[in-house]
Amino acid sequence: MGGMCDQTIKTRAFKAYRQGDLSTAEQLYTELAHSTPTDPEPLFYLGQLCHQTGRTAESVEWLQKALSLAPRSLPILQLLVRVYDESGNARKALTVLDHYLAQRPNDAMMLNVKGKQLFQLGRIPAAEQAFQQAAEHSTNAGMFHDLGLCRQLQGNLAGAADAYQKALQFGDDNSKTPLWLAQCLRAMGQTGDYYQAVTTAAKAMPNDIDLLIEAQSARRYVCDWDTFEQHQPHLLTALSGILQTKAEQDIPPGILNYLGVSEDIVVAFARRYAAQL
- Give the integer Cα–Cα distance in Å for 160 and 148: 4
- Give the integer Cα–Cα distance in Å for 227 and 209: 17
pLDDT at 3: 42
- Give the integer Cα–Cα distance in Å for 236 and 111: 43
pLDDT at 276: 62
Cα–Cα distances (Å) from 45 to 20, 78, 143, 232, in that order, read: 13, 13, 30, 57
In this model, does residue 185 exceed pLDDT 50?
yes
- Give the integer Cα–Cα distance in Å for 78 and 84: 10
- Give the integer Cα–Cα distance in Å for 246 and 9: 54
- Give the integer Cα–Cα distance in Å for 70 and 60: 15
Average per-residue pLDDT for the chain: 91
pLDDT at 277: 57
Assess contact for 173 and 200: CB atoms under 8 A: no
- Give the integer Cα–Cα distance in Å for 192 and 178: 15
- Give the integer Cα–Cα distance in Å for 104 and 160: 27
pLDDT at 241: 84
pLDDT band at 144 (very low <50, low <70, confident <90, very high): very high
- Give the integer Cα–Cα distance in Å for 29 and 245: 50
In this model, does residue 240 exceed pLDDT 70?
yes
Cβ-count burial 56-66 (b if 16+ within 10 Å, e if not): eeebbebbebb
Cα–Cα distances (Å) from 242 to 155, 208, 211, in that order, read: 32, 11, 14
Q: Hey, is 3 helix, strand or coil?
A: coil
pLDDT at 229: 94
pLDDT at 271: 80
pLDDT band at 247 (very low <50, low <70, confident <90, very high): low
pLDDT at 214: 95
- Give the integer Cα–Cα distance in Å for 129 and 118: 10
pLDDT at 2: 44
For the segment 90-104, what is each residue's pLDDT rounded down to a tens digit?
A: 999 999 999 999 999
pLDDT at 265: 82
The CA-based dihedral angle spanning residues 108, 112, 117, 120, taken in that order and rounded to the nearest 10 degrees: 170
pLDDT band at 261 (very low <50, low <70, confident <90, very high): confident
For the segment 19-44, what is each residue's pLDDT rounded down to a tens digit?
A: 999 999 999 999 999 999 999 999 99
In this model, does residue 168 exceed pLDDT 60?
yes
pLDDT band at 272 (very low <50, low <70, confident <90, very high): confident
For the segment 83-139, what is each residue's pLDDT rounded down to a tens digit?
A: 999 999 999 999 999 999 999 999 999 999 999 999 999 999 999 999 999 999 999
For the segment 40-82, what is each residue's pLDDT rounded down to a tens digit?
A: 999 999 999 999 999 999 999 999 999 999 999 999 999 999 9
Proportion of the chain above pLDDT 70, given as a percent: 95
Longest CA–CA separation in the chain, Å: 85
pLDDT at 192: 95
- Give the integer Cα–Cα distance in Å for 182 and 193: 8
**pTM score, two decimals?**
0.83
